Chain A
Amino acid sequence: MSAVLDELAAGGVRLAVPLLLASAGELLSERAGVLNLSVEGMMLTGAFAGAAGALASGSAAVGVLTALAAGLTVALLQAVLSVTLRADQIVTGITINALALGGTTYGARLLFGDGAADSVPGFDPMPVPVLHDLPVLGPALFEQSALGYLACAVTGALAVGLARRTPWGLAIDAVGEDATTADRCGLPVRAVRYAVVLLTGAVSALAGAQLALSEVHAFSDNITAGIGYLAVVAVIAGRWRAWPTVLACLFFGVVQALQFAAPALGLHVSAPLLTTLPYLFALLAVSGLVGRSRAPAALTVPFVRGT
């Protein structure tokens, strides 16, 4: 039984790490008023670029850098469209995701021949001495790869460093609640929105790289399979607050891990059915069963001065 618990905890955290990273960015973006649906596309692009960079250079670290560059490029596109050109954020988000799926699938055919990149240089687990022997928590938290630790650190830094009690966090909230007021207070509304979208691009790409380089050491078509959307849902389920969003991510991670733990538990449920579980819970979470939520008032509203 404890083996099952270990598996569930370790698998849950493992699956939650990319989700945490992506939703940390998405939360910032939404708090500033940009509904960044393109997280999925940013993650997928990051995973692809990370795998391609690592494969070409033979170095996983270079893969992380190429992933970041690719994620920032997608983010720049999203920012120009939604902040400068004031395009509909839902349309741009969905379109960018479709574009990323098509683009990476085509790119994989070009670069990896048969479409899948196996044995990509990646990051191996680095157990922390002593701590990884702890029951349940040990394998869950202290047997990650270097990139995994980095992901956790970045998530924590964003959650704490850009909380409302910091000057930047307060500025982000003001821009997302009432852009006109923020503008009149002298805050650079568009610059703040660009910054959070680019930041989301960077961390989402990192999340994608974590998937491809730490988890599977490979890239396959649509490797993210909707995790980016799940990150958006986690933010809504967490009611736009940092720690509830972290909890939602961990919950979704554990639910995903169920599909691997199910056989050990003696459950004979088909795996595809189990993979739908997080999305079912996500639907429940946003349909008000978890609690009524209130989005930032200026979410998806482009800023125009002089009104």
Chain B
Amino acid sequence: MRARPASPAAARVPALEIRRLTKSFGAVRALDDVSLVVESGTVHCVLGENGAGKSTLCHLIGGSLAPDTGTLRLYGKPYAPRRPADALAAEIAMVHQHFSLVPTLTVGENLRLLRLPDLARRVDRVADEYGLTLDLGARVADLPVGVRQRVEIVKALLREPRLLLLDEPTGVLDPVGTEALLKTCRRIADRGGAVVLITHKLGEVARTGDTATVLRGGRVAGGGPLAELPAERLVPLMIGRSADSLDPALSGTIGLTELTELTGSSMSKTPQAPADRPGPSALRVHALTVRGTDGTHALDGASLEVGHGEIVGVAGVEGNGQSELLAVLGGSRAPDEGTVAVGDTDITRATPRQRTDAGLGVVPEDRHHDGCVPALSVAANLFLGRLGQFRRAGLFLDRRAMRRAADTVLTAHDIRAEGPDTPMSALSGGNQQKVVLARELALDPLVCLAAAQPTRGLDVGAVHAVHSRMREAAARGAGVLVVSSELDELLALCDRVVVAYRGRLSAPVDPHEPAARERIGRLMLGAAAEDSARASAPTVAAPTLTAPAPADPATPADPAPPTEAITPPTPPTA
């Protein structure tokens, strides 16, 4: 256990006091009578599943939304922000889940947007105090996510805030970046500031927090000093049932695996032997190369094989070619070189219809944009690819048959919708994902299922359902490829894990070997292989930030491959 600063005296005014906050969106009550107190000099964790109301709370404190009822007090004074500028004026800084950086501007220009006096001096001070250095001339769009996160944090610290709010800040970071961020949080609190860390990962909470509040369904489910709240008590508060009932993959997505490893208890894992079947593998990706518009390689000779009945995971920091791999599989992007085969069919340049005929199901990363048509009904979304089955009189759609078939799917997959005619957009994220997954799993034959971030943004129940479905598909003999940024999820779910780094895929790692996590972590940072990692020190030691050449202005959304190993900030000599 790390040493904690002495708990603040009871007489001290709390940094933030939230009383009976309520906020509704239409009929949905996002926050219901929420109260909490954050003392200065502490890291206060706000825990909860997706949809528990954490981000709404964040918006209310930051002035992006106004509460329906309830009050806030900041260092004893009433605080009622009506716009983000009010929060800034009250010396509250926020680090948002989705970056608040203008990608087409340089780092320096983004900082200048704050219009602070003595900017250069402030930048130097943050660099000195927290070891967070920046290349002010680099364009944000060219930076890897880890560095963008650092810019975001420096931006927050420039104002010397009295209260710092971080909304799920580690979602885009690799293990080293996460560690550095948590250390920064700790340092801010140790200097007397107050930090609110919003997260759904228990491991982070245990390492960094002093106190916690758990939200569930918009209400405070519990809270208090973390010394009195071990994980066994936090988990039931978060998900409404005990930790023992969770399977390993599920606890992985809330960071519980990591936690149990930290505290020493062991997690039982049930390794699944990949079924050995004769014939070609379910998916064979060979030497795939995709060039970006700026001449860099988004995929650079990536190869991968998924056997029948096997679940293979692709780990890695986002922006290392995972999106392009899925785009090539889904057919939205033609590779420049290389081949893709599903079973014994080559689908490198096949049309979407030929892909489904070959038995390839794809669950895209962005289910709203690429996975479904939000304005159409659930039934239409389920059967859009095979409307021919519901022909009536050769010309019209047999809507009744379609509705009946959809009803069966809704029941079988436990999809909570009012009915098959409900528009897709009215479903929760978890249920939308279940619809997309159900559609892809219904392929006959299903040879291979490729899913990108299949559980992102889903609550525990939906995560469980999605995991079970993917396991079932593998048990029935399909190959399953899962791309996820949640390493713990992959470790618990997969038979083998490969790591994407700068457009290449590593040799598979067995997640059941004892040091699998560390090995994958190193591979995510670019250690070419176990041996070379040992022979030459990994790039972690060299924090030089080389600003890449400006990308083509037409493609600012394409994150350039990381140009830097994300390094932990070196603390100043204390």
Contact = CB atoms under 8 A, between A and B. Distances in A.
Q: Do A and B assemble together?
A: yes
Contacts of B65: 305-306
Contacts of A185: 84, 88, 100, 113-114
Interface stretch (A82-90, A94-102, A107-115, A174-182): A174-182
Interface in B64-115: 64-65, 83-85, 88-89, 94, 96, 99-105, 109, 112-115
Contacts, number: 70
A171 B113 contact: yes
B113 A180 contact: no
B115 A167 contact: yes
A186 interface: yes
B62 interface: yes
Nearest to A240: B553
Contacts of A164: 109
Contacts of A188: 85
A170 B113 CA distance: 7
How many residues of A sit at the interface, in one of the four size bands? 20 to 34
Contacts of A286: none
A182 B103 contact: no
Contacts of B552: 292
B553 A294 contact: yes
B105 A174 contact: yes
A292 to B, nearest CB: 5
B554 interface: yes
Interface in A107-130: none
Interface in B114-133: 114-115
B105 A186 contact: no
A184 B62 contact: yes
Contacts of A171: 113
Interface string A279-307: 00000000000001110010000000110
A173 interface: yes
A181 B98 CA distance: 10
A183 interface: yes
Given A171-B113, A184-B84, A186-B85, A177 B96 contact: no
Nearest to A296: B104
A170 B84 CA distance: 19
A55 B283 CA distance: 80
B556 interface: yes
Nearest to B293: A292
Nearest to A186: B85
Most chain A beta carbons < 10 A, residue from B89, B102, B105: B102
A61 interface: no
B59 interface: yes
A158 interface: no
A170 B83 contact: no
A293 B94 CA distance: 34
A76 interface: no
Contacts of B554: 292-294
B103 A186 contact: no
Nearest to B88: A186
A306 B114 contact: no
A177 B102 contact: yes
Contacts of B101: 178, 181
Contact of B100 (A170, A180, A297, A305): A180
Interface string A154-194: 00000000001001001101100110111111111000000
A121 to B, nearest CB: 46
A187 B113 contact: yes
A174 B552 CA distance: 19
B113 A305 contact: no
A116 B62 CA distance: 58
Contact of A186 (B59, B64, B84, B99): B84
Contacts of B103: 177-178, 297
A182 B83 contact: no
Contact of B102 (A181, A186, A294, A305): A181
Interface string A130-169: 0000000000000000000000000000000000100100
Contacts of A297: 103-104, 556
Contacts of A182: 102, 113
A184 B100 contact: yes
Contact of B64 (A167, A178, A305): A305
Nearest to A164: B109
A181 B112 contact: no
A237 to B, nearest CB: 15
Nearest to B65: A306
A255 B122 CA distance: 52
A296 B59 CA distance: 26
B161 to A, nearest CB: 13
Nearest to A187: B113
A203 B96 CA distance: 39
A167 B62 CA distance: 24
A306 B64 contact: yes
B102 A178 contact: yes
Contacts of A173: 102, 104-105
State the 10 A-B residue pairs at the shortest beta-carbon distance, nearest first.
Answer: A186-B85, A181-B100, A185-B113, A306-B65, A306-B64, A184-B84, A184-B100, A292-B554, A186-B88, A178-B102
Interface of B: 59, 62, 64-65, 83-85, 88-89, 94, 96, 99-105, 109, 112-115, 552-554, 556
Interface of A: 164, 167, 170-171, 173-174, 177-178, 180-188, 292-294, 297, 305-306
8 contacts: A164-B109, A170-B109, A174-B102, A174-B113, A182-B113, A184-B100, A185-B84, A186-B115
Given A177-B105, A178-B101, A294-B553, 13 more contacts: A167-B112, A167-B115, A174-B102, A174-B113, A177-B102, A177-B103, A178-B100, A180-B100, A184-B100, A186-B89, A186-B115, A297-B104, A305-B84
